[in-house]
Amino acid sequence: MNNEVYITRLSAFLPNEPISNDEMGQYLGMKHEQSSKAKYLVLRNNGIKCRYYAMDKNGKATHTNAQLAAIAVEKLFEKRPNELSEVDLLTCGTSSPDQWMPSHAVMVHGWLKNSKAIEVTSPSGNCCSGMHALKYAWMCVKTGQSTKAVVTGSERTSRIMNYESFEAEAKKLAQMEDNPYISFDKEFLRWMLSDGAAAALVENKPAAEGNSLRIDAVEGISYANITEPCMYAAADKTPDGTFVSYMDMNPVEIIENSVLNIKQDTKMLSKYIVDLGSDKLIEMLNTHRLKASEIDWFLPHISSEFFRNKMDEGFRKKGLIIPQEKWFTNLSQVGNVGAGSIYLMMEELMRTNRLKKGQRMVLAVPESARFSYVFAILTVV
Protein backbone atom coordinates (compact mmCIF):
# COMPACT_ATOMS: atom_id res chain seq x y z
CA MET A 1 0.00 0.00 0.00
CA ASN A 2 1.31 3.44 -0.90
CA ASN A 3 -1.18 6.05 0.29
CA GLU A 4 -0.84 9.76 -0.22
CA VAL A 5 -0.27 11.43 3.15
CA TYR A 6 -1.52 14.85 4.27
CA ILE A 7 -1.17 17.22 7.18
CA THR A 8 -4.81 18.25 7.47
CA ARG A 9 -4.76 20.35 10.62
CA LEU A 10 -2.22 22.20 12.76
CA SER A 11 -2.43 23.73 16.23
CA ALA A 12 -0.16 25.59 18.63
CA PHE A 13 -0.01 26.25 22.34
CA LEU A 14 2.29 28.88 23.82
CA PRO A 15 2.01 29.10 27.61
CA ASN A 16 1.20 32.23 29.58
CA GLU A 17 1.95 35.72 28.28
CA PRO A 18 4.74 36.64 25.84
CA ILE A 19 7.94 37.70 27.60
CA SER A 20 10.01 40.55 26.16
CA ASN A 21 13.80 40.71 26.22
CA ASP A 22 13.67 43.22 29.08
CA GLU A 23 11.59 40.83 31.19
CA MET A 24 13.74 37.74 30.75
CA GLY A 25 15.95 38.42 33.74
CA GLN A 26 12.88 38.48 36.02
CA TYR A 27 12.26 34.83 35.10
CA LEU A 28 15.75 33.42 34.54
CA GLY A 29 17.73 35.59 36.94
CA MET A 30 20.94 37.56 36.35
CA LYS A 31 23.23 37.40 39.32
CA HIS A 32 26.30 39.17 37.96
CA GLU A 33 27.63 41.52 35.33
CA GLN A 34 28.97 38.76 33.08
CA SER A 35 25.53 37.20 32.83
CA SER A 36 24.15 40.57 31.70
CA LYS A 37 26.88 40.85 29.08
CA ALA A 38 26.14 37.37 27.80
CA LYS A 39 22.44 38.20 27.57
CA TYR A 40 23.16 41.36 25.58
CA LEU A 41 25.54 39.58 23.20
CA VAL A 42 23.19 36.67 22.52
CA LEU A 43 20.04 38.78 22.11
CA ARG A 44 21.83 41.25 19.84
CA ASN A 45 22.52 38.43 17.39
CA ASN A 46 19.56 36.08 17.65
CA GLY A 47 16.77 38.47 16.65
CA ILE A 48 14.32 37.12 19.22
CA LYS A 49 11.97 39.81 20.53
CA CYS A 50 9.75 37.70 22.78
CA ARG A 51 9.31 34.14 23.96
CA TYR A 52 7.14 32.04 26.30
CA TYR A 53 7.90 30.27 29.57
CA ALA A 54 5.86 27.59 31.28
CA MET A 55 6.68 29.07 34.69
CA ASP A 56 6.03 32.20 36.70
CA LYS A 57 8.56 34.77 37.93
CA ASN A 58 9.14 32.71 41.08
CA GLY A 59 10.27 29.77 38.97
CA LYS A 60 7.13 27.76 39.69
CA ALA A 61 5.99 25.58 36.79
CA THR A 62 2.64 26.34 35.21
CA HIS A 63 2.74 23.36 32.83
CA THR A 64 4.83 20.24 32.28
CA ASN A 65 6.17 19.47 28.81
CA ALA A 66 3.62 16.66 28.48
CA GLN A 67 0.81 19.05 29.36
CA LEU A 68 1.96 21.57 26.77
CA ALA A 69 1.89 18.89 24.07
CA ALA A 70 -1.44 17.48 25.25
CA ILE A 71 -3.07 20.90 25.12
CA ALA A 72 -1.79 21.37 21.57
CA VAL A 73 -3.29 17.98 20.63
CA GLU A 74 -6.64 18.88 22.18
CA LYS A 75 -6.65 22.15 20.24
CA LEU A 76 -6.55 20.10 17.02
CA PHE A 77 -9.97 18.75 17.97
CA GLU A 78 -11.50 21.67 19.85
CA LYS A 79 -14.33 21.94 17.29
CA ARG A 80 -14.83 18.16 17.22
CA PRO A 81 -13.62 16.75 20.56
CA ASN A 82 -15.06 13.28 19.94
CA GLU A 83 -12.77 12.92 16.93
CA LEU A 84 -9.81 12.50 19.27
CA SER A 85 -11.06 8.98 19.98
CA GLU A 86 -10.46 8.13 16.29
CA VAL A 87 -6.72 8.81 16.49
CA ASP A 88 -4.75 5.55 16.16
CA LEU A 89 -1.16 6.83 16.49
CA LEU A 90 0.53 9.44 18.67
CA THR A 91 4.18 10.30 18.11
CA CYS A 92 5.83 13.10 20.12
CA GLY A 93 9.25 14.66 19.67
CA THR A 94 11.05 16.76 22.27
CA SER A 95 14.52 17.71 23.53
CA SER A 96 13.30 18.19 27.09
CA PRO A 97 11.08 15.39 28.43
CA ASP A 98 9.86 15.88 31.98
CA GLN A 99 11.59 12.66 33.04
CA TRP A 100 13.79 9.92 31.59
CA MET A 101 11.09 7.30 32.22
CA PRO A 102 8.25 6.88 31.32
CA SER A 103 8.70 8.15 27.79
CA HIS A 104 7.46 11.60 26.81
CA ALA A 105 4.74 10.41 24.42
CA VAL A 106 3.09 8.06 26.90
CA MET A 107 2.92 10.94 29.37
CA VAL A 108 1.24 13.08 26.70
CA HIS A 109 -1.15 10.22 26.01
CA GLY A 110 -1.95 10.07 29.71
CA TRP A 111 -3.32 13.62 29.59
CA LEU A 112 -5.63 12.84 26.65
CA LYS A 113 -8.66 11.46 28.45
CA ASN A 114 -10.78 11.35 25.28
CA SER A 115 -8.20 9.17 23.54
CA LYS A 116 -8.34 5.39 23.22
CA ALA A 117 -5.57 2.82 23.69
CA ILE A 118 -3.27 3.46 20.71
CA GLU A 119 0.27 3.08 19.42
CA VAL A 120 2.60 5.71 20.92
CA THR A 121 6.21 6.53 20.04
CA SER A 122 8.74 8.96 21.52
CA PRO A 123 11.57 9.88 19.14
CA SER A 124 14.50 11.08 21.23
CA GLY A 125 17.02 13.72 20.30
CA ASN A 126 16.89 17.46 19.87
CA CYS A 127 15.27 19.66 17.22
CA CYS A 128 15.12 16.79 14.71
CA SER A 129 13.02 14.69 17.09
CA GLY A 130 9.91 16.58 15.98
CA MET A 131 10.68 15.73 12.34
CA HIS A 132 11.46 12.11 13.22
CA ALA A 133 7.99 11.97 14.74
CA LEU A 134 6.55 13.33 11.50
CA LYS A 135 8.45 10.80 9.39
CA TYR A 136 7.21 7.92 11.53
CA ALA A 137 3.61 9.10 11.18
CA TRP A 138 4.11 9.65 7.43
CA MET A 139 5.40 6.10 6.95
CA CYS A 140 2.61 4.57 9.05
CA VAL A 141 -0.13 6.39 7.15
CA LYS A 142 1.57 5.72 3.82
CA THR A 143 1.67 1.96 4.46
CA GLY A 144 -1.85 1.81 5.84
CA GLN A 145 -0.86 1.04 9.43
CA SER A 146 -2.50 4.29 10.54
CA THR A 147 -5.32 6.40 9.15
CA LYS A 148 -5.39 9.24 11.67
CA ALA A 149 -2.07 10.05 13.33
CA VAL A 150 -1.15 12.95 15.60
CA VAL A 151 2.37 14.37 15.76
CA THR A 152 3.71 16.85 18.31
CA GLY A 153 6.85 18.89 18.85
CA SER A 154 7.26 20.54 22.25
CA GLU A 155 9.82 21.95 24.66
CA ARG A 156 10.01 23.10 28.26
CA THR A 157 13.56 24.24 28.95
CA SER A 158 12.91 27.41 30.96
CA ARG A 159 13.06 25.79 34.37
CA ILE A 160 16.56 24.39 33.89
CA MET A 161 17.67 27.73 32.42
CA ASN A 162 16.76 29.48 35.69
CA TYR A 163 19.83 30.71 37.54
CA GLU A 164 18.98 28.50 40.52
CA SER A 165 20.09 25.54 38.40
CA PHE A 166 23.61 26.99 38.26
CA GLU A 167 23.98 28.26 41.84
CA ALA A 168 25.96 25.28 43.12
CA GLU A 169 28.43 25.64 40.27
CA ALA A 170 28.75 29.40 40.84
CA LYS A 171 29.45 28.85 44.54
CA LYS A 172 32.13 26.28 43.73
CA LEU A 173 33.78 28.63 41.25
CA ALA A 174 33.72 31.44 43.81
CA GLN A 175 35.49 29.23 46.34
CA MET A 176 38.07 27.99 43.86
CA GLU A 177 38.78 31.06 41.73
CA ASP A 178 36.92 34.01 43.19
CA ASN A 179 35.15 34.04 39.80
CA PRO A 180 31.53 32.86 40.18
CA TYR A 181 30.67 33.02 36.50
CA ILE A 182 29.17 30.10 34.64
CA SER A 183 30.74 29.52 31.23
CA PHE A 184 29.41 31.07 28.05
CA ASP A 185 28.52 27.65 26.62
CA LYS A 186 25.84 27.49 29.33
CA GLU A 187 24.91 31.17 29.37
CA PHE A 188 24.44 31.14 25.59
CA LEU A 189 21.39 28.88 25.64
CA ARG A 190 19.76 30.61 28.61
CA TRP A 191 18.88 33.52 26.33
CA MET A 192 17.97 31.40 23.28
CA LEU A 193 15.28 28.93 24.26
CA SER A 194 11.51 29.16 24.60
CA ASP A 195 8.69 26.88 25.80
CA GLY A 196 5.72 25.77 23.75
CA ALA A 197 4.10 23.03 21.73
CA ALA A 198 2.46 22.42 18.39
CA ALA A 199 0.62 19.48 16.89
CA ALA A 200 -0.31 18.17 13.44
CA LEU A 201 -3.02 15.78 12.30
CA VAL A 202 -1.73 13.41 9.61
CA GLU A 203 -4.23 11.49 7.45
CA ASN A 204 -4.52 9.55 4.18
CA LYS A 205 -6.86 12.09 2.58
CA PRO A 206 -6.93 15.90 2.48
CA ALA A 207 -9.25 17.94 4.67
CA ALA A 208 -12.77 18.40 3.34
CA GLU A 209 -12.44 22.16 3.74
CA GLY A 210 -9.48 24.52 3.49
CA ASN A 211 -5.89 23.68 2.62
CA SER A 212 -3.92 20.57 3.47
CA LEU A 213 -0.21 19.87 3.10
CA ARG A 214 0.64 16.74 1.14
CA ILE A 215 3.86 15.19 2.41
CA ASP A 216 5.91 14.30 -0.67
CA ALA A 217 9.19 13.35 1.02
CA VAL A 218 10.94 13.32 4.40
CA GLU A 219 14.67 12.58 4.56
CA GLY A 220 17.27 12.84 7.30
CA ILE A 221 21.01 12.48 7.72
CA SER A 222 23.54 12.42 10.57
CA TYR A 223 27.16 13.52 10.48
CA ALA A 224 28.05 12.11 13.89
CA ASN A 225 30.62 9.91 12.14
CA ILE A 226 32.79 12.98 11.53
CA THR A 227 31.84 15.36 14.38
CA GLU A 228 31.91 15.30 18.15
CA PRO A 229 29.01 16.42 20.39
CA CYS A 230 28.23 20.13 20.13
CA MET A 231 25.05 20.57 22.22
CA TYR A 232 24.49 18.25 25.14
CA ALA A 233 22.95 17.71 28.57
CA ALA A 234 23.44 15.10 31.30
CA ALA A 235 27.05 14.79 30.13
CA ASP A 236 30.22 16.86 29.95
CA LYS A 237 33.27 17.26 27.74
CA THR A 238 36.75 17.23 29.21
CA PRO A 239 39.48 19.55 27.86
CA ASP A 240 40.81 16.72 25.66
CA GLY A 241 37.37 16.23 24.08
CA THR A 242 36.39 13.09 25.98
CA PHE A 243 32.61 12.85 26.41
CA VAL A 244 31.55 11.74 29.89
CA SER A 245 28.04 10.63 30.84
CA TYR A 246 26.38 11.74 34.07
CA MET A 247 26.18 8.01 34.87
CA ASP A 248 29.95 8.02 35.30
CA MET A 249 29.95 10.95 37.75
CA ASN A 250 29.12 11.07 41.41
CA PRO A 251 26.10 13.12 42.60
CA VAL A 252 28.27 15.98 43.88
CA GLU A 253 29.99 16.38 40.49
CA ILE A 254 26.64 16.40 38.73
CA ILE A 255 25.30 19.22 40.91
CA GLU A 256 28.47 21.31 41.25
CA ASN A 257 29.15 21.26 37.51
CA SER A 258 25.52 21.84 36.40
CA VAL A 259 25.83 18.67 34.35
CA LEU A 260 22.08 18.29 33.80
CA ASN A 261 21.87 21.69 32.11
CA ILE A 262 22.17 22.22 28.37
CA LYS A 263 25.52 23.29 26.95
CA GLN A 264 26.43 24.53 23.47
CA ASP A 265 29.92 24.57 21.95
CA THR A 266 29.42 27.79 19.97
CA LYS A 267 32.68 27.42 18.02
CA MET A 268 31.63 24.03 16.66
CA LEU A 269 28.16 25.37 15.93
CA SER A 270 29.47 28.12 13.66
CA LYS A 271 31.93 25.79 11.95
CA TYR A 272 29.55 23.01 10.91
CA ILE A 273 25.84 23.83 11.19
CA VAL A 274 25.38 25.49 7.77
CA ASP A 275 27.93 23.66 5.66
CA LEU A 276 27.07 20.07 6.50
CA GLY A 277 23.33 20.20 5.95
CA SER A 278 23.31 22.00 2.60
CA ASP A 279 24.73 19.05 0.66
CA LYS A 280 21.90 16.76 1.76
CA LEU A 281 19.26 19.36 0.93
CA ILE A 282 20.66 19.85 -2.57
CA GLU A 283 20.80 16.08 -3.08
CA MET A 284 17.18 15.69 -1.92
CA LEU A 285 15.88 18.44 -4.20
CA ASN A 286 17.67 16.84 -7.15
CA THR A 287 16.31 13.39 -6.29
CA HIS A 288 12.75 14.69 -6.21
CA ARG A 289 13.26 16.96 -9.24
CA LEU A 290 12.30 20.10 -7.37
CA LYS A 291 14.10 23.17 -8.67
CA ALA A 292 14.95 25.97 -6.25
CA SER A 293 12.92 28.33 -8.44
CA GLU A 294 9.85 26.14 -7.85
CA ILE A 295 10.01 26.49 -4.05
CA ASP A 296 7.30 28.89 -2.85
CA TRP A 297 7.96 28.60 0.89
CA PHE A 298 11.24 27.72 2.57
CA LEU A 299 10.87 27.12 6.32
CA PRO A 300 14.29 26.85 7.99
CA HIS A 301 14.44 26.16 11.71
CA ILE A 302 17.18 28.63 12.62
CA SER A 303 18.05 29.01 16.28
CA SER A 304 19.23 32.57 15.68
CA GLU A 305 18.86 35.22 12.96
CA PHE A 306 22.66 35.26 13.08
CA PHE A 307 22.59 32.18 10.84
CA ARG A 308 20.11 33.44 8.23
CA ASN A 309 22.63 35.19 5.98
CA LYS A 310 25.27 32.55 6.66
CA MET A 311 22.84 29.88 5.49
CA ASP A 312 21.92 31.90 2.41
CA GLU A 313 25.57 32.48 1.55
CA GLY A 314 26.39 28.81 2.11
CA PHE A 315 23.57 27.75 -0.21
CA ARG A 316 24.60 30.20 -2.92
CA LYS A 317 28.21 28.99 -2.88
CA LYS A 318 26.89 25.54 -3.75
CA GLY A 319 24.52 26.80 -6.43
CA LEU A 320 21.31 26.65 -4.39
CA ILE A 321 19.51 29.99 -4.65
CA ILE A 322 16.31 30.40 -2.62
CA PRO A 323 15.54 34.14 -2.40
CA GLN A 324 15.00 35.23 1.20
CA GLU A 325 11.57 36.65 0.37
CA LYS A 326 10.50 33.00 0.12
CA TRP A 327 11.85 32.20 3.60
CA PHE A 328 9.48 32.14 6.53
CA THR A 329 10.24 31.89 10.24
CA ASN A 330 8.48 33.22 13.33
CA LEU A 331 11.56 33.00 15.55
CA SER A 332 11.39 36.66 16.56
CA GLN A 333 7.88 36.32 18.02
CA VAL A 334 7.81 32.82 19.54
CA GLY A 335 11.50 32.18 20.25
CA ASN A 336 13.45 28.98 19.63
CA VAL A 337 11.07 26.15 20.59
CA GLY A 338 13.38 23.36 19.42
CA ALA A 339 11.39 20.34 18.25
CA GLY A 340 8.23 22.44 18.10
CA SER A 341 9.55 25.30 15.97
CA ILE A 342 8.89 23.80 12.53
CA TYR A 343 5.27 23.05 13.47
CA LEU A 344 4.77 26.55 14.83
CA MET A 345 5.90 27.94 11.47
CA MET A 346 3.53 25.72 9.48
CA GLU A 347 0.68 26.45 11.89
CA GLU A 348 1.07 30.21 11.48
CA LEU A 349 1.15 29.99 7.69
CA MET A 350 -1.97 27.81 7.69
CA ARG A 351 -3.83 29.92 10.26
CA THR A 352 -3.14 33.22 8.53
CA ASN A 353 -4.33 31.93 5.14
CA ARG A 354 -1.08 32.67 3.33
CA LEU A 355 -0.91 29.33 1.54
CA LYS A 356 -2.27 28.78 -1.97
CA LYS A 357 -3.06 25.47 -3.60
CA GLY A 358 -0.23 24.11 -5.70
CA GLN A 359 2.52 25.88 -3.78
CA ARG A 360 5.61 23.85 -2.85
CA MET A 361 7.10 24.05 0.62
CA VAL A 362 10.47 22.85 1.92
CA LEU A 363 11.12 22.27 5.62
CA ALA A 364 14.71 22.36 6.88
CA VAL A 365 15.51 21.34 10.45
CA PRO A 366 19.13 21.19 11.60
CA GLU A 367 20.18 19.76 14.95
CA SER A 368 23.52 20.80 16.38
CA ALA A 369 23.64 18.12 19.10
CA ARG A 370 25.93 16.06 16.88
CA PHE A 371 24.93 17.58 13.55
CA SER A 372 21.85 15.86 12.18
CA TYR A 373 19.37 17.25 9.67
CA VAL A 374 15.87 16.40 8.47
CA PHE A 375 14.25 17.92 5.39
CA ALA A 376 10.74 17.58 3.97
CA ILE A 377 8.99 18.54 0.75
CA LEU A 378 5.28 19.42 0.97
CA THR A 379 2.64 20.54 -1.53
CA VAL A 380 -0.36 22.70 -0.65
CA VAL A 381 -3.56 20.96 -1.81
For 93, phi then psi, to 5°, come to -105, 140
pLDDT digits (tens, 9 = 90+) for 29-70: 765 556 667 777 888 888 999 999 999 999 999 999 999 999
Residue spans per domain, the chain: 6-210, 215-223+266-380
Whole-structure pTM value = 0.94
CATH numeric code, 6-210: 3.40.47.10
Give the per-residue pLDDT at 261.
Answer: 86
pLDDT digits (tens, 9 = 90+) for 332-377: 999 999 999 999 999 999 999 999 999 999 999 999 999 999 999 9
Residue 68 contacts residue 145 (beta carbons within 8 Å): no
The CATH number corresponding to 215-223+266-380 among 3.40.47.10, 3.90.850.10, 3.40.50.300, 1.10.1840.10 equals 3.40.47.10
Per-residue pLDDT band for 107 (boundaries 50, 70, 90) equals very high
Mean pLDDT of the 120-142 span: 97
pLDDT in tens, 204-242: 999 999 999 999 999 999 999 999 999 999 999 888 889
Q: How confident is the model at residue 172, as a pLDDT?
A: 59
Q: Which helix (H) or strand (E) holds 129?
A: helix 128-142
Q: Which of 129-138, 197-206, 264-273, 332-341 has the lowest mean pLDDT?
A: 264-273
- Please state the φ and ψ torsions of residue 51, each to the nearest 5 degrees: -155, 180
Domains 6-210 and 215-223+266-380 in one fold: yes
